[in-house]
Amino acid sequence: MRLHKEGTPSIAIVLTVAAVMNLAAFYFAPDLLWLRIAVGVLSAALVYLILQFFRVPARTQTLDERLIVAPCDGKVVVIENTVENEYFKDKRLQVSIFMSPLNVHVNWYPISGKVNYLRYHEGKYLVAWHPKASSENERTTVVIGKENRFEILVRQIAGALARRIVYYPHQGDMIRQGSELGFIKFGSRVDLFLPVGTKLHVQIGQKTTGGVTVLGEVPA
């Protein structure tokens, strides 16, 4: 397991705070052993949590051009046909994955192809499961075209805790399935909009492992 580069500032801040807490407890309460122990346990817990937030575990990815792979860790909370109004402006199959604060927060490309559209939108910070989160929260929309045959849309959505979305592609980039799309700090949600009729391999409530779990099959 390694730590993601996006965590460097946050990890440094937490380590500094933990060190200050322990030094203060040692200096101002040298005779209160119970207090020094409590501060030590609390600071250790904070360090552990921040390291968990930014961990990138070693895993064997699913790399198959015939498949659509989960872009993130989390739980499938939406599967429905809906109208996507930003890019397609027609009916699409929406699959939404909720990322808890304890999930790995890296996002991966679900397929290989070309970035045909990329937009970052400032917005609100509604809870990730709010029905309007996909259209009103801070978000990034990436549309990947597959050899001029079809396109899928991947949308990173900030939530009540997630206050920073990081994305790496540029419009026109050729990207590979399984490489990093970006990072959402402290969890939130990722929506995919697929062609209607896409054969899915997941169901509501199922947990996903980013870069590994097969969401569905690439349309013929």
The stretches in the chain having pLDDT less than 70 are 123-136, 159-163, 186-187
pLDDT of residue 162: 52
pLDDT of residue 132: 58
Are 37 and 79 contained in the same domain? no
pLDDT of residue 171: 94
Are 203 and 155 contained in the same domain? yes
What lies within 8 Å, CB to CB, of 18 at 6+ separation is 43, 44, 46, 47
pLDDT of residue 118: 97
CB 61 within 8 A of CB 213: no
Are 24 and 84 contained in the same domain? no
Are 166 and 73 contained in the same domain? yes
Cα(124)–Cα(159) distance, integer angstroms: 8
The 10 Å Cβ neighbour count of residue 60 is 7
130 found inside a domain:
yes
Range of the domain at 52: 2-56
61 found inside a domain:
no
62 found inside a domain:
no
Domain closes at, from 34, 56, 78: 56
Cα(150)–Cα(118) distance, integer angstroms: 16
DSSP assignment of 31-73 equals: T-HHHHHHHHHHHHHHHHHHHHHTEE--------TTEEE-SSS
- Concerning whether 10 is annotated as a catalytic residue, the answer is no
pLDDT of residue 166: 87
What is the token pair recorded at 110? 């679900």
Q: What is the tally of structural domains in the chain?
A: 2
What is the token pair recorded at 142? 């990436």
Q: Given 43, 96, 134, 188, which residue is catalytic?
A: 188
pLDDT of residue 53: 81
Are 92 and 163 contained in the same domain? yes
pLDDT of residue 144: 97
CATH number assigned to the domain comprising residue 144:
2.70.70
Are 52 and 73 contained in the same domain? no
pLDDT of residue 191: 95
